[in-house]
Amino acid sequence: MSEGTPPLLIGRWTDASLTDALLEPTRRRPRVLTVLLGVTGLGTLMLFAAIGWTFLAGIGTWGNNIPVGWGFAIINFVWWIGIGHAGTFISAVLLLFEQPWRNSLNRLAEAMTLFAVVQAGLFPVLHLGRPWFAYWLVPYPSTMEVWPQFMSVLTWDAGAVTTYLIVSVLFWYLGLLPDLASARDAATTRFRRRAYGLFALGWRGSVRHWRHQRRAQLLLAGLATPLVLSVHSIVSMDFATAKLSGWHSTIFPPYFVAGAIFSGFAMVLTLVVPLRRLFHWERFITARHLDLVAKMTLAMGLLVAYSYAAELFVAWYSGVPAERHLFFDTRPLGPYGWLYWAQMTCNVAAPQLLWFRAVRRRPWALFVLSIVFNIGMWLERFVLIVTSQHRDFLPSSWDLYVPSLIDGALFFGSLSFFAFLMLLFLRVVPPVAIAETKEILHERGTDA
């Protein structure tokens, strides 16, 4: 390590003190988190009320219309599934590249992925109109004697998102087993010992166990890496296979993946910066971790900017009047033009601040920027989805899209539900991987 590079683990630690410090969040519950749990719990109730109303009254309660058939639901779906990419990226891709800095971030990022994918999954199911028939997407021998149409990208979507959720859960739980065993062994009450013991499945930490566990982790990482690239590629094909200006584009799969990882890293920063302050994690999630996450965010932000440029170039170079009209008139100058410029400010201009070390070393600057990026990425999906539909090839069918109250309740409800699940996770699961941080301790010593 070169001189002046900040360490990945600060302080003098023993295995025992490290375990104790990392289990702290499951024992000590800061009041602010309890209050937040209550608030987000109310928000979650609002989400379920909105879902209930959608079940009863149908999706006519949403702002969707003709020509804008895909509104908030699809925007939220793409946004959430995008956020769900960073967890697997941090856990799997950085594991394959043997980046030790992933070790103290992976657990939190994986939990974030799981909970984001849960939110994402809600929206397309609700958007079906009759969500109780969602199981029709699964090929099962039914009395109707027909099968799902697997030539349709929408069925690929269902397969990709479900696979991603299952693989993410397995990967997360596999890494969690040894830490649940630590929580079991360090438990102070009989109930905690039993509860953690049950979920630890009897993990004993034998060298042979570790050998199989590490091999399984490596294999799952190898499987999850192409998977994480496939999920948003398939989501992007929902758009790319449609013959609509602004959607029908071959750059979509890589463009969507870059945007997804960009927003995911931003969400990691949004969560990590306040939590590290609250639980005094500065010694395991050090300035170096934040610096590296910020650099990854910048790299992904540049890829996003490149994709925007490529989209504009292809629209111009194609010579197709409808494409040119969309990219050079409707989007920048149309009724949603202000959202387009806000998107460009958030996703193209703001990330350039991360070139400066002074910004990357200030956690609260990163926190504010990460929220700006997340807003920007949500706006990107809004612009992409709504502007392409609201002025299509036939000017007589042009119309505006205005979300309804139920749309708002579903979106903010899903934000609450996500935060609610994250807060519950913090209360029961060691949020920083214990065994992996110990590995850093033994490989690099203290002040590694």
Partner 1 sequence: MRSGLLARFAGPDALAAALTALRDEGYARLDAYTPCPDEAVDAALGGPPSPLARFVLAGGLSGAGLAYLVLWWTQAVDYPLNIGGRPAHAPLAYVPLVFEGAVLCASLTAFVGFLLLCGLPRLWHPLFEVSLFERASIDGWLLAVDDRDPRFDDEQTTARLQALGAEAVVEVAP
- Given the rule CB under 8 A, which residues bind partner 1? 14-16, 19, 139, 145-151, 155-156, 159-160, 163, 166-167, 170-171, 173-174, 178, 181-182, 184-186, 197-198, 201-216, 219-220, 223-224, 226-227, 230, 234, 237, 434-436, 438-439, 442
Nearer to partner 1, 5 or 206 (CB): 206
Q: From the CB of 328, what's the least distance to partner 1, in Å? A: 33
Cα–Cα distance, 184 to 169 (Å, whole number):
21
- Reading the block at residue 438, the tokens are 């110990």
Q: From the CB of 229, what's the least distance to partner 1, in Å? A: 11
Nearer to partner 1, 41 or 197 (CB): 197
Nearer to partner 1, 234 or 375 (CB): 234
Cα–Cα distance, 88 to 90 (Å, whole number):
5
- Across 330-401, the runs of DSSP E, i.e. the strands, are none
User: Which residue do the tokens 């200006």 mark?
Assistant: 245
- Reading the block at residue 207, the tokens are 């060298």
Nearer to partner 1, 194 or 277 (CB): 194
Nearer to partner 1, 16 or 358 (CB): 16
Q: From the CB of 6, what's the least distance to partner 1, in Å? A: 23
Q: From the CB of 56, what's the least distance to partner 1, in Å? A: 33
Nearer to partner 1, 26 or 44 (CB): 26
Cα–Cα distance, 76 to 378 (Å, whole number):
8
Instruction: Please answer whether residues 87 and 221 qualify as being in contact, where contact means their C-beta atoms are separated by less than 8 angstroms.
Output: no
Q: From the CB of 255, what's the least distance to partner 1, in Å? A: 18
Cβ count near 52 (within 10 Å): 10
Q: From the CB of 116, what's the least distance to partner 1, in Å? A: 19
Residues near 289 by beta carbon (within 8 Å), at least 6 away in sequence: 8, 101, 104, 105, 272
Cβ count near 295 (within 10 Å): 14
- Reading the block at residue 6, the tokens are 């900040």
Q: From the CB of 384, what's the least distance to partner 1, in Å? A: 21
Of the candidates 276, 293, 236, which has an alpha carbon nearest to the alpha carbon of residue 90?
293
Cα–Cα distance, 121 to 161 (Å, whole number):
7
Nearer to partner 1, 187 or 304 (CB): 187
